[in-house]
Amino acid sequence: MKKLFALLALFTITLTNAQDFKTLTYFVNDSTKLELDLFLPKTKSAENLPLLIHVHGGGFAGGQRQDGYTVCREAAKNGYAAATISYTLYMKGKKFSCDGILTEKVKAFRIAANQLWQATLFFIKNSEKYNIDTDKIFISGSSAGAETVLHAAFWDRDLMALYHEKLSNDFKYAGMISGSGAIMDINLITEKNLIPVMFFHGSCDPTVPYGTAAHHLCPTDSSGWLMLFGSYSIYNKIIELNGNTQLFTYCNGGHEYSAELFIQPEETVKFISQVLAGEKMQAHTIISTGKTCKRNTYSFCD
């Protein structure tokens, strides 16, 4: 009898923990096989679904697509399709800080952005199979993932393409959510390629600058010196262009906030819903962390 109860308990646990996603291969070549986990709403829809594609963080050296499960589950619960992707961790075993090699850093950004483009192409090609509305594809990312989505949205895809099959420069993502991310050239963002963007970032981030500064705050004679434009700088650029944007600032917070609104994903899903509803958003939400920062230069965080 005890064995029977144990088996029943195990069966119940198995059902409770049953996978609520499909693992799919989105890209294969001679040296690389990349997978994603796709979450779909439990209730089937007669209409095509908006899609969120999430890119995990980890300095292009670590992290895993499972890090995106919380935000993907929340999106699916609200009637959207959502996928979290694996990508090549090019910086694994390499130096990504001040003593690294600049060209290797840029290559890591480029590989990840190209692989996000391939994931996007996968869903465009399979839109009927998975009931995806290809005009409503959103992207999100934390830290390295945020740097990936920012460059994927604004880079010239013909110039930066690494693979034979390219995502057209005419394609525009419906919107983006960036957690503690930055872009290498703010001039990449123009009226023509502008999309709605929600940012969240700690104002005292020593890894990825909140404003405009070197990656890891490296001194200018560093081999890995790379200027980056962070969330606050990009937010102001989009405001200047009269674009659609929100910024959540964690005052005096560091890089530990890079996944905050994916771990607590309600604001992320709310942003997607607002974009789909055609709402105009230009808002800066300042959040107290109770922390102090010796480098604080933002009066709104005093």
> Pseudo-torsion of CA 279, 123, 71, 109, nearest 10°?
-100
The tokens for 225 are 């010196």
Place of tokens 């659609």: 244
By C-alpha distance, which of 235, 251, 254, 253 is closest to 243? 235
By the 10 Å C-beta count (0-12 exposed, 13-18 middle, 19+ buried), 169 is classed as middle
Tell me, what's the pLDDT at 46? Answer: 83
CB 56 within 8 A of CB 141: yes
Tell me, what's the pLDDT at 278? Answer: 97
Q: Is the dihedral of CA 68, 91, 28, 170 positive or negative?
A: positive
Q: Kindly tell me if the per-residue pLDDT of 11 is higher than 70.
A: no
CA distances from 301 to 176, 279, 281 (A): 25, 28, 22
Tell me, what's the pLDDT at 1? Answer: 45
CB 241 within 8 A of CB 194: yes
Q: Kindly tell me if the per-residue pLDDT of 296 is higher than 90.
A: no
d(Cα 297, Cα 211) in Å, to the nearest integer? 10
Question: What does pTM read for this prediction?
Answer: 0.93
Instruction: Give me the mean pLDDT over the 103-116 stretch.
Output: 98
Residues 6+ apart with CB under 8 A from 208: 143, 146, 147, 180, 181, 182, 201, 215, 228, 230, 255, 258
Q: Kindly tell me if the per-residue pLDDT of 14 is higher than 60.
A: no
d(Cα 233, Cα 223) in Å, to the nearest integer? 24
Stronger pLDDT, 130 or 295, i.e. the higher one:
130
φ, ψ of residue 228 in degrees (nearest 5): -135, 145
Of 2-11, 125-134, 177-186, the least confident: 2-11
Strand partners, 53: 83, 139
d(Cα 204, Cα 208) in Å, to the nearest integer? 9
Place of tokens 């829809």: 45
For the chain, the C-alpha Rg in angstroms (whole number) is 20
Q: Which fold has domain 21-301?
A: Rossmann fold (3.40.50)
Tell me the average pLDDT of the chain: 94
Q: Kindly tell me if the per-residue pLDDT of 234 is higher than 80.
A: yes
Instruction: Give me the mean pLDDT over the 174-187 stretch.
Output: 98
Instruction: Give me the mean pLDDT over the 249-275 stretch.
Output: 98
